[in-house]
Structure 1
Amino acid sequence: MFKANSFVSVLVHLTIMAAIVAALIFGFFYLYLPSATNHGETISVPKITGMQLGDAEQLLEEQSLRYFINDSTYRSDQKPFEILTQDPAPGAKVKEDRKIYISVNMKNPPMIKMPKLIDGSVKNAELILKSYDLKKGKITYVPDLQQNAVLKQFVGGKEVAPGALVPKGAVVDLHVGDGLGNTEFEVPSVVGMPVDEASVLLAGQGLQVGNIFYDASSTEPTGTVVKQRPFAEVGAKIRVGELVDLWVAGDEQLQGIE
């Protein structure tokens, strides 16, 4: 048996031991570990966004990859269980058995509280609906003095009160005031009256003065209403909020009346 009875023999022993250790290290890091972890072998992540979950699952299995759903949301313009996002992105290089994180479109929309659109304008209603992920549907104008004001809100043909639960993405139909109202009455006659008094009378009956035309050739006193439209004929009707055009005697510049 070899005996370590000299300096040379000790040195030989140390050299042999160092060689064994180096061989073990080399074998572990450069032979065993690469083969066990498929060192240098990567997989290109396929594009699965836009695919159905079942199809994507099969594709990932074929690529030796896995998936994990870390988010779900609802988009009415996309199919249920459609993959919306993925991480890592398509084309990324990953190791075998890597987990791909995905978000999926829900089958059923979540329920949200219906916002209050009533008494606001149509434009304001559109902004609110968009912020709630709801869609503006049909607008129906109905007789009411509140012009362009939302009077009622409907989902699926049924009136919905603010705070009631509706599906996210639902279509909301609106009933909006036409600014005229539905009360009809006989057209008042203001011919022969001073234009300022005629304006007060019309306003008092819920009517509006429309265009004012001046007739310098009229023989009536300056500022007198000589004609109106619509005419105050027997049986002529008008609704609250409608316009009445006036013809006034005199020259506009001399009167200074706008």
Structure 2
Amino acid sequence: MTLREYLTSKTFFGQLFLAFIITIAVGFLLLQYLDFSTNHGEEIAVPNLAKMSTEQAEEVLDDADLDYVVLDTVDFNPEFPKFSVVQQDPAPGEKVKSDRKIYLKINSGGYSTIRMPELVEKTLRNAESTLQSAGLTLGSLTYKPYIGKDMVLEVKCNGKTVKAGEKILKGSKIDLVLGDGSGGFEDEEDTQEPIDSLP
């Protein structure tokens, strides 16, 4: 039998059909195995762990067949209990497979201390930017006579004067005493007697 006759014979087409059926069957079995080995369709919604202690979070994640890793302790956030979960990844509600690790960031136990930055003789705008960068909050503003308008003259915390370099709690409210822009040459001229009145 020649090659041309074989390629047009019933035997060749029968074997070709058989090979096609075997390929389909192997592909189907492989997909079934992958579905089984990867728990296809058995996804778990990540629970919301915000404000939970690590012990509470561990218990909830164990019940959901999930694991966790504590990445870091972040600066104290007063809106969350001490040592509670502040951030998590993946986010609550996301679908994951069982045994997936949930990465947690934990609130610290309180404000850390920092050194008061130098604010005296800075403008209000610069002082406000410096306070924000240092993790401090701008409090009340009071003014007193000084030629430099909005120039920082004094820095206070809880009613006490604070100097640059002193240790204070991060997150503290800082009150500023500023110059009101008075005390310039015009004010000095106003205090002089008119020339006509001089003897």
Band the TM-score falls in, shorter-chain normalisation: 0.5 to 0.7
Give the partner amino acid of 1:188: Q
Residues 1:132 and 2:134 aligned together: yes
Superposition pairs of residues 134-213 of structure 1, within 5 angstroms: 134-181=136-183, 187-190=191-194
Q: Which runs of 5+ in 2 are unaligned?
A: 1-28
Q: Conserved in 2, the CA contact under 8 Å of 1:120 and 1:150? A: yes
Q: 1:156 to 1:173 in 2, by over 3 A?
A: same
Paired position in structure 1 for 2:45: 44
User: Identity over aligned residues, as a percent?
Assistant: 35
RMSD over equivalenced CA pairs, Å: 3.2
Deviations 1:169-228 (A, max 9, x none): 1111111122335x99984333759xxxxxxxxxxxxxxxxxxxxxxxxxxxxxxxxxxx
Paired position in structure 1 for 2:58: 57
Q: Conserved in 2, the CA contact under 8 Å of 1:78 and 1:105? A: no
Q: 1:42 to 1:76 in 2, by over 3 A?
A: closer
- SS of residue paired to 2:141: strand
Q: How far does residue 89 in structure 1 lie from its aligned partner after superposition?
A: 2.6
| Bigger Rg, structure 1 or 2 | 1
**Rounded Cα–Cα distance in structure 2 between residues aligned with 1:51 and 1:76:** 11
**Rounded Cα–Cα distance in structure 2 between residues aligned with 1:97 and 1:126:** 47
Q: Conserved in 1, the CA contact under 8 Å of 2:118 and 2:164? A: yes
Superposition pairs of residues 57-136 of structure 1, within 5 angstroms: 57-79=58-80, 80-136=82-138
Q: Which runs of 5+ in 1 are unaligned?
A: 1-25, 194-258
Runs of 4+ in structure 1 off by over 4 angstroms are 183-186
Q: TM-score, normalised by structure 1?
A: 0.52
Deviations 1:34-65 (A, max 9, x none): 5xx784443221222x3322543332232122
Q: Conserved in 1, the CA contact under 8 Å of 2:76 and 2:110? A: no
Give the partner amino acid of 2:95: K
Q: 1:171 to 1:179 in 2, by over 3 A?
A: same
Q: How far does residue 96 in structure 1 lie from its aligned partner after superposition?
A: 3.0
**Rounded Cα–Cα distance in structure 2 between residues aligned with 1:43 and 1:162:** 52
Which one has more relative contact order, counting CA pairs under 8 Å at least 6 apart? 2
**Count of aligned pairs between the two proteins:** 159
Q: How far does residue 120 in structure 1 lie from its aligned partner after superposition?
A: 0.8
Give the partner amino acid of 1:167: L
Q: Conserved in 2, the CA contact under 8 Å of 1:76 and 1:169? A: no
